[in-house]
Chain A
Amino acid sequence: MTKSGPLGWLIRNPIWVFVAIIFVFFSLSTDRFFDIANFRNILVQTSTIGLIALGMTLVMINGNIDLSVGATLALAASVTVDAMGWAVFADWGNWQILPAVLLRLLTGVAIGALNGFIVWKTGVDAFIVTLGAMLGIRGLVFVYTQEQSFFATNFTYSDFDYSSVLGVPTLAIVFLVFTVATHILLSRTVHGSNTYAVGDNREAAVNAGIRVGPHMVVNFVIVGFFAALAGITLSTQMGAATPNLGREFELWVITAVVLGGTKLTGGAGSIIGTFGGVLAIGMLRNGMNLIGVPAFYVLLVLGTILIFVLFLDKQLNRQGDEEIRL
């Protein structure tokens, strides 16, 4: 069933067929879709989910999952906005953003490391570990913020999302740069190869001497980093961190990654696919908004597409009629 050439590539990456269909559909439906400014918009809007999806792809190829990304994002955002108000940094002017952002990334990295370490040392399934973390970290956010929103008083920070380099929004650039970097990490480096190996056949990876535990921790750290980074997009857009920030992001992110063809059981997937999944979601939200469909239809369509892609993937990978029917 495996074909080479463009057709084979599309069979293995059916998401890009969807991207093309969605693209053509909306381009024909409304004039406002096929427009450079709108494409920029889509990139900025998707950069949040997109960044997390990059890290999630690594974790899921590893055969793990991280449900705590939304909560991580919220905690990191609260820490940042809070830290900018600390008296220590009061005289730093715009430089106060720097320690705040570093602190934010550190928070994400720390939570990722914690999740990864628990998965490694206890042997508890990542689904359960991060399910617990998702609840617990969200609880931390609520307790930490006392259920209040924090507002950034530094406008350089909150105006960041309007900034651009050579006409391309900074946030879009950040997203694209990290997409390329993660793609290279996954497809060209030893760490990337090991990521596939661990998810594909963990026993073989152990036998081959790959240090599976620390390896998985690294990928959890990466997704924690991206979750914290993605919070920048959100909290700069809003100039505030609400305790509910990033809620259900894990669902959007996992949807994007699975749409992009990453296998839940691990061992298969790609950043190119994930990028397609992220774009599909972004274009769908944007396009449906432009043609005036109420936002909640997007949820219905998205859920349906997710299940349909799964179905399609199953059909395309069948071994024909001679397959054993279990």
Chain B
Amino acid sequence: MMIRYKTSNTFPKGGIHPPEYKLTQNVPIKPLPIPKSVMIPISQHIGAVAAPVVAKGDYVKTGQLIASANGFVSSNIHSSVSGIVSKIDTIIDASGYRQNAIFIDVQGDEWVDSIDRSADVISKIELAPEQIIEKCKESGIVGLGGATFPSHVKLAVPKDKKCNTIIINGVECEPYLTSDHRLMLEKGEEILIGIAILMKALDVEKAMVGIESNKPDAVEHLKELAKRFPGISIHSLTVKYPQGAEKQLIKTLTGREVPSGKLPIDVNAVVHNVATAYAVYEAVQKNKPLIERVVTVTGKSLPAPGNYLVRIGSPVSSLIEAAGGLPDDTGKIVSGGPMMGKALQNTGVPASKGMSGIVLFRASESTRVEKIACIRCAKCVTACPMNLEPHLLATLSMKAMFERAEDEKVTDCIECGSCSYTCPAGRPSLDYIRLGKSTVMKMIRERNIK
């Protein structure tokens, strides 16, 4: 049966409706004061760790390259402040492990001369497609939706494949987060120019921006602006988590289904986040590398939740301070959204390129519910947007039956957390599925080497 789902504008199967708590959707973006010192991790992206090109005692300017990409799938890292490199040492970052980071003691705010810091909006795109891709690579642009995949890799489409649609992700389906929402409202034109740049780089005529209908102001604003941009269409989508997942968004907007184990480019689409489009605009038109990003600092217990323009490397404590200080009963701090974000171990963790939000939970709401026996209610099956059977995958992983888990397509899991969220028995299915997925991925890699 080839029934296209058009009655409601969303992906057809699975999904959940967590409470939104978009506490900060009306709070304008404010620049966060530059902290006294920053710690810039040299691995803020998927792929090879960048190699530091500065040494202890060096003076660096804001926007200066401090670690260079190590291979194709890797990304440059720039200094987000000006000052003296105090040391290169390990720090526990958002990954949960010790990583090398460049520590810089801030002195003033002296920018690299070539960066255009004026507020003018430049809409004329002068660079050629190759130059745009090169610029993205130089400027250390990575996917800002959270996955931090280097953008230039996505833009360099293999010769045998062709992209005909750019999908721009303005869905922001995670509860609490509003950074993309605010960015679309305040930097709408820049985002659209960024999209036009991406279209030029990929040589495509069509770009579709997907925004969930709980952000009507952003939809209207961009629709109004998009009249001046041929080929860019704005789509209001029915609210459902995980609409912002790459494969689900492509399905919603184009009706194409990315085959199991394949990439969006296999259905002639490339997906970028709105924040990435903005970063591309800044890199290409303003010559500004990726040294700051918008972070939503929120939580029901925070006195003044808000959206902040944060220099990369600022400690999370400084963000929380700006939002009114850490409440005493904080039980958990999550980097990213509550559905897919990572819990932080302390507030000394530096802000990185992939940090879209900081969400604080009270101690009372931060612990998991007690896990009881599975009653086979199949709610996880209904909720799974990939139409997998989470209960089965979890059991197989728990019992270390990884070969069978592979047959059941554990590798298709997008780790959206809908199964764990919806489980009435409070079973953390995704914890087990992640273990199964990573083990099976390793098995597949080892097999491919042989």
Q: Do A and B interact with each other, yes or no?
A: no
